[in-house]
Amino acid sequence: MRCEAAVTGIGMITPAGLTTESTWAAVCRGQSTVRTDPDLEGLPVDISCRVDGFDADAVHGRRLARRLDRFTQLALAAAHQAVRDAELDPAAWNAPRVAVVLGVGSNSLHSYFHEFEVLNQGRPELVSPLALPRSVPNMAAAEVAIALDARGPNFTVASACASGATALAVAADLVTSGACDIALAGGAESGRSRMTVTGFHQMHALSQRTDAPHLASRPFDVDRDGFVLSEGAAVLVLERPQHALRRGADPRARLCGHACTSDAYHPVAPHPEGTGVEHALRTALEGAGLEPGDIGHINAHGTSTPTGDVAEARALQRVFGPEPPPVTAPKSILGHALGAAGAIEAALTVLTQQHQLIPPTANLLHQDPDCELDIVTQAPRAAAFGAAISNSFGFGGQNTVLVFTAD
């Protein structure tokens, strides 16, 4: 069964902006959002991409905001934006036919470690009764369903840094199969906890460029030395095309193909030749009924790690040949939002296709000769194309590829 899901709404909260429009404008400017993070003071790596200006009390109300961990606050705000963008009224929709599928990576570590510190101080009676409800990974999807009265399938996807993209693939299958009419799908993450940063640092996964934060995230550059942790959320509204047509919706794009594969190689390292990525690319294209030559743009996973970028480039070169489509790598601007990254980048891929404008990759000063790709830099590039791909990969060898076409 060929995947058919209309993208009718987008909601985004990122370090570049609190809305889809502000995020898109900032990404097109190509300016890095990496900066010194006061919450990480005293750690070997004290830089991140954080969402500033987000007032959870004002957005959700103080009582609800206190009940939610930050990743759930971001997810719920993005979901409300997406529903408004799709011009849907939750009071009028067929609630049992509305699904919620969200991806998470490290979920609620902020709340967990705060309560752990309280417990370690010998005061168990002061541990919040909300400690566990805040901490379970499915709470973002659950709170979105509660807030919007979405009573259909409700899933939480955990495939590391591919989680947000995988959630979209699962949601597209639900819509295509007829299990639901509407799916709110995406990912949310706030990976800036001190433990998360320290853990990644000990793995030598993070950029050490703390003296020049704006230059730290540099996918495909020969001097890249790791990624920068970020936070954010993106939710896309997927609908059965017939349902969107009946209500007069104007889809932004269609999710017409996807594939999920496993490297089955190493817990944290990608296969050096990108074989799992290649399989995902070819399978997604086949599922969409497209050839490599039909693709006009690639939104790369591009984390700025020495091994990951090369593995992705090799897979792209084998699938698309010596002249692959123009590539952009948004993590150069937004950092790595872990479980939310795939959803954020899928949303950017839809916007790129809609505007026929490819945002630049920041900090590509000296392109790695092992990453021979047509990477857009310095300024947005106008391009006419009908189909685009978004790549997302994660620890454990998780690979997800999404294919979007113009509606």
Q: 271 an active-site residue? A: no
Cβ burial 307-322 (10 Å sphere, 16+ → b, else e): ebbbbbbbbbbbbbee
Instruction: Quickly count: other Cβ atoms within 10 Å of residue 83's Cβ.
Output: 25
Instruction: Quickly count: other Cβ atoms within 10 Å of residue 397's Cβ.
Output: 23
DSSP string, 133-150: HHHSTTHHHHHHHHHHT-
Please return the burial class of 370, using the count of CB atoms within 10 Å of its CB with bins 0-12, 13-18 and 19+: middle
Q: 256 an active-site residue? A: no
Which of 347, 355, 358, 397 has its CA nearest to residue 8? 347
Q: 336 an active-site residue? A: yes
Rounded distance between C-alpha atoms, residue 126 and residue 124, angstroms: 5
Residue whose token pair is 């300016």: 31
Instruction: Quickly count: other Cβ atoms within 10 Å of residue 129's Cβ.
Output: 6
Q: Of 3, 28, 161, 371, which one is the catalytic site residue?
A: 161
**Where are the alpha helices (H) located in 86-193, listed in sequence order?**
109-120, 131-135, 139-148, 163-177
Rounded distance between C-alpha atoms, residue 39 and residue 193, angstroms: 8
Are the C-beta atoms of 88 and 182 separated by less than 8 Å?
yes
Q: Of 60, 110, 279, 301, which one is the catalytic site residue?
A: 301
**How far lies 35's CA from each of 229, 253, 271, 335, in Å?**
11, 34, 31, 10
Residues in the chain, total: 407
| Helices and strands: H and E segment counts in the chain | 14, 14
β-strand partners of 390: 299, 402
Q: Of 110, 258, 271, 336, which one is the catalytic site residue?
A: 336
User: Could you give the angle at which helices 139-148 and 70-85 cross, rounded to 10 degrees?
Assistant: 40
Catalytic positions are 161, 301, 336
